[in-house]
Amino acid sequence: MTMMKGNIFIFSGPSGAGKSTVIKGLKKRITGLGYSISHTSRPPRHNETNGVDYHFVDEDTFRRMIDQGAFIEWANVYGNLYGTSIRSLENRTEKGMDVVLDIDHHGAKNIKGLFPESVLIYILPPSIEILEQRLRSRDTDDSDVIDGRIKEAVNNLKNCEWYDYLIINDNLEKAVSETKAVVLSSRCRRSRMYPFVKEMLEI
Ligand code: ADP
Ligand code: 5GP
């Protein structure tokens, strides 16, 4: 039997909604899930590691990579450049691994256009007030950066309409369980978890 290519699960949502936290929880609860490490020109935060959270590069290097066609998609988000390299995505999906991407709505649209089977998941905070509390207590960004991100969150919320799934991250455990169900049901649909079903039905 030939191995199917892995699928792509795209997570988007306002900064501070809990995307990274939900993805971390999901990776602990499910096997065979890779993570696409983006490149960014944003400076690293105190708790971030190069090559783990992001590949941190300066803006010149990022722009050179754009010119070289290294990115499958890239965008300017909150004033910094972020991009998904072709290598970070294809290496894993070619091996049959599912891959999670944490990217903004522009990137999500681009990837969905290229890979229509991608599953789009939007993580929402329970309220804008709680979003602000989370951003401030995360203590990773300056106050003016947080203000800008909250403004963007309000302006961009309408984009959640065209996502396949909306997950409200009020309770972390519940949010992780819901996303796990999304991934498992997608695998089932693609007959990867139950290949015998595919064989039985000859599809
Ligand atoms: P994002 O990746 O969307 O920017 P993070 O995952 O960094 O957001 O989460 C922002 C902050 O909110 C972090 O400090 C995280 O620990 C906290 N957080 C995430 N989910 C929850 C939750 N369900 N309840 C309370 N705090 C949460
Ligand atoms: P942060 O600076 O908080 O890590 O990320 C800011 C935003 O950039 C988030 O919305 C995140 O989803 C988005 N982002 C991270 N990596 C990429 C990427 O490779 N491409 C795109 N388009 N957006 C990204």
| pLDDT tens digits for range 70-123 | 999 999 999 999 999 999 888 778 788 899 999 999 999 999 999 999 999 999
Q: Which ligand is nearest to the CA of 135?
A: 1
| pLDDT tens digits for range 69-78 | 999 999 999 9
In-domain check, residue 129: yes
Name every residue whose Cβ is closer than 8 Å to that of residue 184 and which is 6 or more positions away in sequence. 30, 193
pLDDT confidence of 5, banded at 50, 70, 90? confident
Which atom of ligand 1 is the closest one to the Cα of 139? 14
Q: Which of 102, 110, 139 to mutate to test the pocket of ligand 2 (most atoms within 8 A of CB)?
A: 102
Instruction: Assign 190 to helix, strand or coil.
Output: coil
The predicted structure's pLDDT at residue 147: 96
d(CA 97, CA 88): 12
Q: Is the pLDDT of residue 10 over 50?
A: yes
- In single-letter form, the type of residue at position 44 comes to P
In-domain check, residue 75: no
In-domain check, residue 121: yes
pTM to 2 decimals?
Answer: 0.94
In-domain check, residue 80: no
pLDDT confidence of 131, banded at 50, 70, 90? very high
In-domain check, residue 92: no
CA angle 130, 134, 135 (to 5 degrees): 120
Task: Give the pair of three-digit tokens for residue 52.
Answer: 């783990």
How many domains, the chain?
A: 1
In-domain check, residue 153: yes
Name the strand (E) or helix (H) holding 201: helix 195-201
d(CA 156, CA 106): 11
Which residues constitute the domain of residue 191? 8-36+97-202
The predicted structure's pLDDT at residue 3: 55
DSSP string, 33-57: EEE---EESSPPPTT--BTTTBEE-
Ligand 1 centre and the CA of 21: distance in Å?
6
Q: Is the pLDDT of residue 12 over 80?
A: yes
| pLDDT tens digits for range 30-65 | 988 999 999 999 999 999 999 999 999 999 999 999
Gyration radius (Cα) of the chain, Å: 17
In-domain check, residue 114: yes
Ligand 2 centre and the CA of 38: distance in Å?
8
Residue 145: alpha-carbon gap to chain centroid: 21
Q: What is the CATH number of the domain that holds 150?
A: 3.40.50.300
Ligand 2 centre and the CA of 82: distance in Å?
6
Task: Name the H helices within 82-171.
Answer: 86-94, 105-114, 128-138, 143-156
In-domain check, residue 108: yes
